Amino acid sequence: MNRISFRHAMLAGFALIVVLLGGVAVRSWFIVERLVQQSNANSELALQVTGSLQELAERTVDIERSARQYLVLDNPEFRQRFDTHLDQSLAVIDRLDTMPEQPLASLLGGWRMVAEALRGGLDQHIAQNEIAPLLARLSELNGLLKQAGQRWIDERNGRMLQQLEDNRLRLGTQILAALLGAFVVALVMAWWLVRPVQRLEQAITRLGGSRFDEAVRVGGPDDLRRLGRRLDWLRERLRELEADRERALRHVSHELKTPLTALKEGVALLGEEVPGPLVDSQREVVDILRHNVAALQRQIESLLSLNAAAFAARQLNPAAVPVDRLLAEAAQRRELHAQGRQVQVVVEAPSQSATLDAEKLGVVLDNLLSNAIDFSPPGGEVRLRAERLDHGWRFACLDQGPGVAEEDRQRIFDPFVQGRRAAPAPRQGSGVGLSIVRELVRAMGGRVELLVAERGAHFQVDIPDEL
């Protein structure tokens, strides 16, 4: 079964939006074009009607003048002028009678009848007092024609304006419907495309946090589905590699602990002079062996602790916990340590609850607090703070010690790395505490960083509230 790819889906979505908006734009163009043509036709017709009526009024004056002159002077030339002006006027009447809708038909017919009566009267040489009413009737008909013509023009303009208003409302509705359709298409496409991208992002975040227990399932376009399957294959591969690493660490630790135990017991027997008395040089060698055996044992135990932290990081148990109580318990666990170093621990936390993995966060705070106490000078102060962020919590641990050297800042979170600046008092450590902190913080979806401080070290941990 062929599925739509991400590219095809985007092209289809954009094409559909273009069709919706472009269709409305083309229809708008046709409507405007038709209205412009109608407006031009109305304007041209109005000019023709107005011009014809004006010409008819002028010809009527000429008809009246030539008729009166003919009746008075009885000159055939004036009669010829009368006939010429009358024929021209009738031509104007015929032109007006061809207008669409024929709004002036009755008045034009009356004008013809009066004109024929006037022509017949001149043929019969009637008196001026008898022809005057006919001339007055022509003038009256001209006035009525002018009013009717103006009324007809106004009605056509009114209908065009009403049509324009109707088209405007209809076009506005279509534009609104097209915009709504485009928005719905964009919303559906965003929902269909963004959800698999979010799933991919979540899957990559889980892989980055060494959480390989949940399968990667991605829907949507075919190419994103294929990418999801490749990520799931990578998850399986990483889980196998992680299992192999843990198994190798367990085997190595076990294989090292067995001879180490025998070596430790042998050195202890030598130190107790069970095989026989030791001279000073031999006792010195035994002390060196005892010191290195203890150091090797601490390295193995640290390696096991780091492995245990990596395993525990994949199992989160978020629950609602008071933040102030969480920090107070961390400070209480290090109370004897702080008293021994003559260091005061100050806790600053709001009385609010957070949805966190309290056990893992407790380990993080315990390691940060232990390092801060070790590196603080006698009489110094360590601050353990918590503050609410928009989408989570920020924890900070600040001390007044020598801080971290600039060349150690980039690798201070690497396993078995200890800074170049020594603590005020001798301390037993293998350099995995901050590695465990980073491992657990990443598992909780947060981040830990070492900030620049004027004095001492300033570690900051950001963890989201909803795991």
| Tens-place pLDDT, residues 204-253 | 877 766 667 778 787 777 777 887 788 888 888 887 887 776 676 667 66
What does the pLDDT read at residue 101? Answer: 66
pLDDT at residue 370 is higher than 70? yes
Task: Give the Cα separation of 130 and 115 in Å (integer).
Answer: 14
Average pLDDT over every residue of 103-115: 79
Average pLDDT over every residue of 452-458: 84
What does the pLDDT read at residue 299? Answer: 63
Q: Could you tell me the pLDDT band of residue 76, with boundaries at 50, 70 and 90?
A: confident
Decide which of 467 and 284 is more confident.
Answer: 284
pLDDT at residue 141 is higher than 70? yes
What does the pLDDT read at residue 295? Answer: 64
Taking the model in full, what pTM does it have?
Answer: 0.46
Residue 195 corresponds to which amino acid? R
What does the pLDDT read at residue 328? Answer: 92
**119 CB-near residues (< 8 Å, 6+ apart):** 83, 86
Question: What are the residue boundaries of the structural domains of the chain, listed by start?
Answer: 6-183, 222-312, 319-464
Q: Could you tell me the pLDDT band of residue 1, with boundaries at 50, 70 and 90?
A: very low
Average pLDDT over every residue of 61-90: 81
Torsion 75-78-82-88 (CA) sign: positive
Structure tokens at 377: 């000078």
pLDDT at residue 379 is higher than 60? yes
What does the pLDDT read at residue 395? Answer: 94
What does the pLDDT read at residue 23? Answer: 80
What is the CB neighbour count within 10 angstroms for residue 231? Answer: 20
Task: Give the Cα separation of 182 and 20 in Å (integer).
Answer: 7
Structure tokens at 78: 């004036």
CATH architecture of 6-183: Up-down Bundle (1.20)
Kindly report which listed range (65-74, 212-221, 418-427) carries the lowest average pLDDT score.
418-427
Kindly report which listed range (98-112, 244-258, 350-364) carries the lowest average pLDDT score.
244-258
Structure tokens at 212: 């390989």
pLDDT at residue 344 is higher than 70? yes
Kindly report which listed range (2-6, 115-119, 435-439) carries the lowest average pLDDT score.
2-6
CATH topology for 319-464? Answer: Heat Shock Protein 90 (3.30.565)
What does the pLDDT read at residue 460? Answer: 92
What does the pLDDT read at residue 398? Answer: 92
| DSSP-derived pairing of the beta strands 344-348 and 381-388 | parallel
Decide which of 336 and 123 is more confident.
Answer: 336
Residue environment code for 442-460, b if the CB has 16+ CB neighbours within 10 A, otherwise e: bbbbbebebeeeeebbbbb
pLDDT at residue 197 is higher than 90? no
pLDDT in tens, 15-35: 887 887 888 788 888 878 887
Which one of 143-157, 257-271, 273-287 scores highest in mean pLDDT? Answer: 143-157
pLDDT in tens, 384-417: 999 998 888 999 999 988 888 877 777 788 776 6
Structure tokens at 45: 């017709």
